Chains A and B, each alone.
Chain A
Amino acid sequence: MIEQNTPDLLITNGHLLDPVSQPEPAPRDLLLRDGRIHAIDAPGAFTALEIKNVVDATGLLVAPGLIDVHVHLREPGQTWKETIATGTRAAAAGGYTTVVAMPNTIPVNDSVETMEWMLSPDRDPQVHLLAMPAATQGSLGERLTDYAALAAAGAVGFTDDGKPVLEDRVMRSALVAAARLGLPISQHAEDTHITGGCSMHAGPVAFRLGLRGMTIEAESNIVERDIQLLRDIEQKDHLRPHLHVQHVSTAKALAAIRLAKQQGLHVTCEAAPHHFTLTDQAVSGEAADPTFCRNTPYNTNAKMNPPLRDEADRLAVVEALLDGTIDCIATDHAPHAAHEKEVEFERAPNGITGLETALGLAFRILHQRHGLPLARVLALLSSHPAQLLKLDGRGTLTPGAHADLVLFDPAAEWTYAAAQSLSKSKNSPFDLAPMLGRIHATLCAGRVVHRG
């Protein structure tokens, strides 16, 4: 994004809500210059400057742009599902100003060459694009990629997402190598030895549907193993490795993470909105409460990995978001074409889109239903991900910070229409679901990248 030569922009009449510096909304005007927050002051303070580009934020909250540490943009190689341009366009519509692209593209992003191709302005990203390249070559789980070279080229972490780094020896080496660079290993925690042929959560719903299910232990075993490796590395190698657990979905994994944090290990984790909103009944189409997902039997838009769990696990995810065990919300935006999802449940690819529904669901569920203050919800969506990845000057709106902002009406109730999504793909279970909090504008590097 070009940060020079952008005309000054003034945001007026809004209420600033910054999870870090201004957790209570306060009336403020913001002056943006050269892609940065130049100044923040009382309403009207900048009138004398006669700035031409003005965004009127009357009735709106002005907050740091959202940051998603887990998105699948499908480019290179699967551009019928999404491209970097369309995915980041959808991100902007969802209030996101920074997204981190996962490496399970075709080819896998496991080289500086591929990563630089992905991060090139030629891909036309609409918001700030970062990447986590593969932890192992081809994400085959055997040989590490060149972490130093990838870090120098801008990698913010390493992950074989879609797959776990399964072998103890390889995961340990990965954690050590990443620790030396101060970067996290982001782990898709799934014991693939015991999830073969599984397409949803193991339990009575899977049994009734005649589908093989993934057990809780398939997730928690790997999380526990990885935490044990952290302990071992701190003791033996005197390094401080950072494990980031992706899309955590079970109470058991959360318990292990909570304990590890208490013990001072550097573990962080993320949860996706679908894991705090839906349960495995969304697959059966027999949910007692179909408010957020219409009851459709064998709904492939309720198929993702890790799967939707039972109500106890869903509540554990909510609880962990409230008590700080979960550091941030990450969508795991996973676009798939209609023809790919309109197949037998077992054969459908995993994943749903999520960039445009994250804020609406987070406010509806975490804030409205569970009382989490707006500033805390926003922290999960912006300042925490920024801190987790050490993104300086992002996730906060103080003078000098990047001019990445989202303007939204926190009280607006609206209905999400999947068909209107700006993503190339419409695979969302949340079609017709009631959202809370409507985005009116998203600004990136001081330029408007979305108007609601």
Chain B
Amino acid sequence: MDELTHPDHHPGSLLSVQHLSLSEVARILASTTRIAALAPAERAKLLAGRRIALLFYESSTRTRTSFELAAKSLGATTTLVSDKSSSIEKGESLKDTGLTLRALGAEAIILRHPSSGAAALLARATGLPVLNAGDGMHEHPSQALLDLRTLLTRLALDPGTAHAGSLSGVTVVITGDIRHSRVARSNAMLLPRLGARVILCGPEPLLSEDALGLHPGEGPCLEIERDFDRALATAAQQTPAVMMLRIQKERLAGLELDLACYIANYQLTEDRLAAHAPNALVLHPGPMIRGLEIQGEVADSPQSAIEDQVRHGLAVRTALLARALGVTA
């Protein structure tokens, strides 16, 4: 599959990992490496004087800060509009907010929004490059790209390119509230295309069979394994990685899932890792609830790549911003 054309939105947008051909993923990874290698002064020339708006309808630590620092490192001017301190509180629509930002000179908008499809709507309404920083339960494309770079780097694979066999031999277990997770969706749609075996793990109320539709295509398929230990053991047959997703206590209560039971079956603990996948790389998109989906000791262990993820997030987002504004490093 070569370049995918999407006449509905600007080519600099990133709304969904599905819109990226493998060659485009490769270009983004290569660009990430090149920009990361530039001296700060050189980097700051790439988007000097360009204007980027961050439009965040949801709170965020790492994604927002990451995009903001990335933009500033490229020399761009940034402005943050949050729903709590803007006319959005007065009922202004997403479309009008976007058009206003465009009229104020924004050349690209980074959007985080609680509604699935909001990024597509903003892209259609404004014609600007829109970077989806998380739209409802739908996607978090930059997260999947930084997770990819983290996997490639930590597993001593080539992080500067991407092809159908890049993650061949790697099994990634994704565990947690997959039903409500945009991180799970983006990763489950991207990683198998690079040759990874992806195992989704969780109890039925948090993971239905419908999830298998995320990657119906050729190559290694998506699987569901409800027994976490078995999933880890299967992953350990190849090069294992485990991605933990945040669990919201309120969600468990709402779905009538017992918290203690959930923790017993699905928490990533030192013992569980040691027993079933001792060499597994551990990832978490953050924020994490230590003691709930993941044991603090595991998050702080040498096999944790959680801080790497944050670092790669900054790097990948600089490449995405340059791409958004049509600038090649």
- Footprint of B on A, CB under 8 Å? 202-211, 296-298, 339, 342-347
B328 interface contact, C-beta 8 A? no
**Are A210 and B182 within 8 A (Cβ)?**
yes
Interchain CB contact (< 8 A) of B116 among A202, A204, A209: A209
A343 CB, min distance to chain B CBs, angstroms: 6
Complex interface: chain B residues within 8 A of A297 (CB): 8, 15-16, 117, 120
Closest to B215 in A: A208
**Are B8 and A296 within 8 A (Cβ)?**
yes
**Which of B121, B124, B208: most chain A CB closer than 10 A?**
B121
Given A204-B212, A206-B210, A210-B185, answer yes or no on A342-B116 (Cβ-Cβ < 8 Å). Answer: no
Number of A-B contacts (CB under 8 A): 73
**Are A298 and B125 within 8 A (Cβ)?**
no
A199 CB, min distance to chain B CBs, angstroms: 9
Complex interface: chain B residues within 8 A of A209 (CB): 116-117, 138
Complex interface: chain A residues within 8 A of B120 (CB): 297-298
Complex interface: chain B residues within 8 A of A344 (CB): 94, 113, 115-118, 121
The distance in angstroms between the C-alpha atoms of A339 and B95, with both chains bound, is: 9
The distance in angstroms between the C-alpha atoms of A297 and B124, with both chains bound, is: 10
Complex interface: chain A residues within 8 A of B93 (CB): 339, 342-343
**Are A345 and B116 within 8 A (Cβ)?**
yes
Complex interface: chain A residues within 8 A of B136 (CB): 210-211, 346
Complex interface: chain A residues within 8 A of B69 (CB): none
B68 interface contact, C-beta 8 A? no
Complex interface: chain A residues within 8 A of B125 (CB): 342
Closest to B135 in A: A210
A213 CB, min distance to chain B CBs, angstroms: 8
Complex interface: chain A residues within 8 A of B216 (CB): 204
**Are A298 and B117 within 8 A (Cβ)?**
yes
The distance in angstroms between the C-alpha atoms of A345 and B95, with both chains bound, is: 13
Complex interface: chain A residues within 8 A of B139 (CB): 210
The distance in angstroms between the C-alpha atoms of A297 and B211, with both chains bound, is: 19
B26 interface contact, C-beta 8 A? no
**Are B137 and A210 within 8 A (Cβ)?**
yes
**Are A204 and B121 within 8 A (Cβ)?**
no
B165 interface contact, C-beta 8 A? no
The distance in angstroms between the C-alpha atoms of A339 and B15, with both chains bound, is: 23
Given A205-B213, A208-B189, 4 other A-B residues pairs in contact with their CB atoms under 8 A: A207-B208, A342-B95, A343-B94, A345-B121
A299 CB, min distance to chain B CBs, angstroms: 9
**Are B210 and A345 within 8 A (Cβ)?**
no
A451 CB, min distance to chain B CBs, angstroms: 36
Interchain CB contact (< 8 A) of B121 among A208, A211, A298: A298
The distance in angstroms between the C-alpha atoms of A206 and B180, with both chains bound, is: 12
The distance in angstroms between the C-alpha atoms of A233 and B219, with both chains bound, is: 57
A342 CB, min distance to chain B CBs, angstroms: 6
B30 interface contact, C-beta 8 A? no
The B200-217 residues at the A interface (CB cut-off 8 A) are 208, 210-214, 216
Nearest 4 A/B pairs, CB to CB: A204-B213, A298-B117, A210-B138, A210-B137
Complex interface: chain A residues within 8 A of B135 (CB): 210
Complex interface: chain A residues within 8 A of B124 (CB): 296
Closest to B95 in A: A342
Given A207-B208, A210-B136, answer yes or no on A345-B213 (Cβ-Cβ < 8 Å). Answer: no
**Are A211 and B116 within 8 A (Cβ)?**
yes
**Are A347 and B115 within 8 A (Cβ)?**
yes
Mark interface residues in B103-122 (1 if CB within 8 Å of A CB, else 0).
Answer: 00000000001011110110
The distance in angstroms between the C-alpha atoms of A208 and B213, with both chains bound, is: 7
The distance in angstroms between the C-alpha atoms of A297 and B8, with both chains bound, is: 9
The distance in angstroms between the C-alpha atoms of A208 and B116, with both chains bound, is: 10
The distance in angstroms between the C-alpha atoms of A208 and B94, with both chains bound, is: 22
Interchain CB contact (< 8 A) of B210 among A204, A296, A342, A343: A204
The distance in angstroms between the C-alpha atoms of A296 and B214, with both chains bound, is: 18
Complex interface: chain B residues within 8 A of A204 (CB): 210-214, 216
Complex interface: chain B residues within 8 A of A210 (CB): 116-117, 135-139, 182, 185
Closest to B6 in A: A297
Closest to B138 in A: A210
Can you name 9 A-B pairs with beta carbons within 8 Å? A203-B210, A204-B210, A204-B216, A207-B210, A210-B139, A211-B117, A296-B8, A297-B15, A344-B113
Complex interface: chain A residues within 8 A of B208 (CB): 207
The distance in angstroms between the C-alpha atoms of A209 and B186, with both chains bound, is: 11
**Are A346 and B116 within 8 A (Cβ)?**
yes
**Are B121 and A343 within 8 A (Cβ)?**
yes
A341 CB, min distance to chain B CBs, angstroms: 11
B202 CB, min distance to chain A CBs, angstroms: 13
Closest to B182 in A: A210
**Are B214 and A207 within 8 A (Cβ)?**
yes
Closest to B57 in A: A344
The distance in angstroms between the C-alpha atoms of A362 and B70, with both chains bound, is: 54
Complex interface: chain A residues within 8 A of B118 (CB): 344
The distance in angstroms between the C-alpha atoms of A345 and B138, with both chains bound, is: 12
A287 CB, min distance to chain B CBs, angstroms: 14
**Which of A202, A206, A208, A347: most chain B CB closer than 10 A?**
A208
**Which of A203, A297, A298, A346: most chain B CB closer than 10 A?**
A297
Closest to B210 in A: A207
**Which of A206, A209, A210, A339: most chain B CB closer than 10 A?**
A210
**Are B115 and A345 within 8 A (Cβ)?**
yes
Given A342-B95, A343-B94, answer yes or no on A207-B117 (Cβ-Cβ < 8 Å). Answer: no
Closest to A286 in B: B18
A212 CB, min distance to chain B CBs, angstroms: 8
Complex interface: chain B residues within 8 A of A202 (CB): 210
**Which of A206, A209, A342: most chain B CB closer than 10 A?**
A209
The B79-136 residues at the A interface (CB cut-off 8 A) are 93-95, 113, 115-118, 120-121, 124-125, 135-136
Complex interface: chain A residues within 8 A of B8 (CB): 296-297
The distance in angstroms between the C-alpha atoms of A209 and B139, with both chains bound, is: 8
Complex interface: chain A residues within 8 A of B185 (CB): 208, 210
A313 CB, min distance to chain B CBs, angstroms: 15
The distance in angstroms between the C-alpha atoms of A211 and B124, with both chains bound, is: 19
Complex interface: chain B residues within 8 A of A339 (CB): 93
Closest to B212 in A: A204
Complex interface: chain B residues within 8 A of A296 (CB): 8, 124
**Are A346 and B212 within 8 A (Cβ)?**
no
Complex interface: chain B residues within 8 A of A346 (CB): 115-117, 136
B104 CB, min distance to chain A CBs, angstroms: 21
A241 CB, min distance to chain B CBs, angstroms: 37
A193 CB, min distance to chain B CBs, angstroms: 15
B109 CB, min distance to chain A CBs, angstroms: 15
Complex interface: chain A residues within 8 A of B138 (CB): 209-211
The distance in angstroms between the C-alpha atoms of A344 and B116, with both chains bound, is: 8
The distance in angstroms between the C-alpha atoms of A345 and B118, with both chains bound, is: 8
**Are B117 and A345 within 8 A (Cβ)?**
yes
The distance in angstroms between the C-alpha atoms of A298 and B116, with both chains bound, is: 8
